[in-house]
Structure 1
């Protein structure tokens, strides 16, 4: 049997077909939509692939036209979809997103209950050669989808830790997907304890830990086993704390916010890529702030994620130039 080939990053979760309204207004009044890809985990995967990393994607899609669309779109972005399973019994998840105005968070409606991705299970990761990867990126969305995806999440983080990979975890709270807030907090904090880098937003960190300040939130995760905690502060920038150091990096100003969805995923792309590139924490946060700021200036969940030459120009200028 040939040796498994090395690769950079594994991500997993649910990719969805997203239908974005072509005009402003309530979704029931909109007659035209444009189909795009969606899903926090895929956004990060796409962002890392655009920066030249070898990224593998683990998920399920239905045997339907939306599943075919997603596979084609993700492969066109450079993702290795060898672990994307076609499920003949369950449909691909969908979402419909209103056109936001004035920088407001857009209204989103999901059609994902019982989706193909929610039927991911332990058997689906048996063939994943984690021991040849460098990094695992995980979010709190897969464990919210079903009991089997939760089991898969714990298995992958446990295997990655045993194999010596670096692991990043973005809680990415979706309270409506959980049976209770207590279950959400317990599960996500248990997963965070298996990660090296934990990346909550400030409000997320407050909810999950019961602490108020970024310093104290970070302390909870450092005490549970994390090597570094990075906290998103919105337009104010971001904060990091390790066992030896802490600091803040100011946010990157933008002239117009078009769509806030995907900003946190762009931030995660910045942190993970910077650490894989060997940058220190202040430089990693600066990159993450730049990419997050770029993403809010475009329509779509991942359309603002830069390629390597675009990122280099942004880092030279210190500006989040929209694509």
Structure 2
């Protein structure tokens, strides 16, 4: 089977509990998606940079190995560490994030990696997946290098998939994030965006943003806060209304990442966009009933 290459950052995740207690795990938007793609039967390789010999980098590599995610494109940098984020949750499971990532190893990935090997792996893949966080943390020089590699992969027939996943604190302003996203979107086969991210990035209604991006070529999945999902493709829009309310919500961390994993796995398996949305919803609904972005393997629904 051809493999999927996911590019981005895996961080140390500190979940804050009562009275200052915390639980350590490891997660990151594209890494979470990579794990769920692997659980759903796709061959996946993760591309990032980690520290050289610290316990956190070793734990991330161990998690990837346990989840069947290949790490031959992971760069190890002595003296560096992975980024760290903490999550505070309210009684509804909604989150507030705190980040320590200024010196994270991934920021040096495109300056230190073997780009010929990365480009060759991308051209031989069935899909390349990245996010707006990927674009932010690799910096301007990294984005310039990645853009050429993505174009070469697209020209070789590889499907590029992208979630803008806008995090304002990673960018100088929304205009910079939008420019970076819209340099990638014309190269994509699939774009998945939350309605709020579309509005915050572009200052327009999410429907208009998604339609404009779809006009650049990709199939655009727009995920709204009320759980409506709209698929924009070929000048048409298919709106899939929300299903029944989800009970037992504990933590919404990773909901979009897991949706993306199941959606893309379903599309690669030949399912229709509507069938892929149903698969994405099933997985996301399981994820938000657990704490953390990556849920126990036995709680992961089949495709």
| Shift in CA distance, 152/296, structure 1 to aligned 2, threshold 3 Å | farther
Is 1:180–2:173 an aligned residue pair?
yes
Is 1:248–2:243 an aligned residue pair?
no
Name the structure 2 match of 1:168.
161
Deviation at 1:236, TM superposition (A): 2.7
Contact 1:122 1:152 in 2 (8 A): no
TM-score by length of 1: 0.86
| Shift in CA distance, 283/209, structure 1 to aligned 2, threshold 3 Å | same
Name the structure 2 match of 1:126.
116
Name the structure 2 match of 1:282.
274
Deviation at 1:111, TM superposition (A): 1.3
**Structure 2 portions without partners, runs of 5+:** none
- The superposition leaves residues 113-144 of structure 1 with CA deviations (integer Å, 9 ceiling, x where unpaired) of 02101111165232132232111111011211
Contact 2:174 2:201 in 1 (8 A): no
Please give the residue correspondences for 1:253-264 in structure 2 after superposition, counting only pairs within 5 Å. 253-264=245-256
Most deviating of 276-285 and 181-190: 181-190
Deviation at 1:177, TM superposition (A): 0.7
- Which whole-Å CA distance do the structure 2 matches of 1:102 and 1:280 have between them? 36
TM-score by length of 2: 0.91
- Which whole-Å CA distance do the structure 1 matches of 2:133 and 2:229 have between them? 22
Name the structure 1 match of 2:146.
153
Deviation at 1:305, TM superposition (A): 7.2
Q: Secondary structure at the match of 2:249?
A: coil
Q: Secondary structure at the match of 1:169?
A: strand
- The superposition leaves residues 85-123 of structure 1 with CA deviations (integer Å, 9 ceiling, x where unpaired) of 11113222112223x232242222211102101111165
Contact 1:10 1:136 in 2 (8 A): yes
Pick aligned residue for 1:190 from 183, 189, 205: 183
- The superposition leaves residues 195-245 of structure 1 with CA deviations (integer Å, 9 ceiling, x where unpaired) of 11111111222233443152x22221122232x111001343311011154
Contact 2:215 2:235 in 1 (8 A): no
Most deviating of 174-183 and 154-163: 154-163
Deviation at 1:269, TM superposition (A): 0.9
Is 1:12–2:12 an aligned residue pair?
no
Deviation at 1:155, TM superposition (A): 3.2
Is 1:296–2:288 an aligned residue pair?
yes
- Which whole-Å CA distance do the structure 2 matches of 1:87 and 1:122 have between them? 11
**Structure 1 portions without partners, runs of 5+:** 1-5, 313-323
| Shift in CA distance, 288/197, structure 1 to aligned 2, threshold 3 Å | same
- CA root-mean-square deviation: 2.0
Deviation at 1:156, TM superposition (A): 3.4
Deviation at 1:248, TM superposition (A): 1.7
Q: Secondary structure at the match of 1:121?
A: helix
Is 1:141–2:133 an aligned residue pair?
yes
Pick aligned residue for 1:202 from 195, 212, 216: 195
Most deviating of 103-112 and 68-77: 103-112
Name the structure 2 match of 1:65.
55
Is 1:217–2:209 an aligned residue pair?
yes
Contact 2:221 2:229 in 1 (8 A): yes
Is 1:87–2:48 an aligned residue pair?
no
Contact 2:193 2:221 in 1 (8 A): yes
- Which whole-Å CA distance do the structure 1 matches of 2:5 and 2:237 have between them? 28
Most deviating of 170-179 and 147-156: 147-156
Is 1:239–2:234 an aligned residue pair?
no
Is 1:43–2:32 an aligned residue pair?
yes
Is 1:108–2:97 an aligned residue pair?
yes
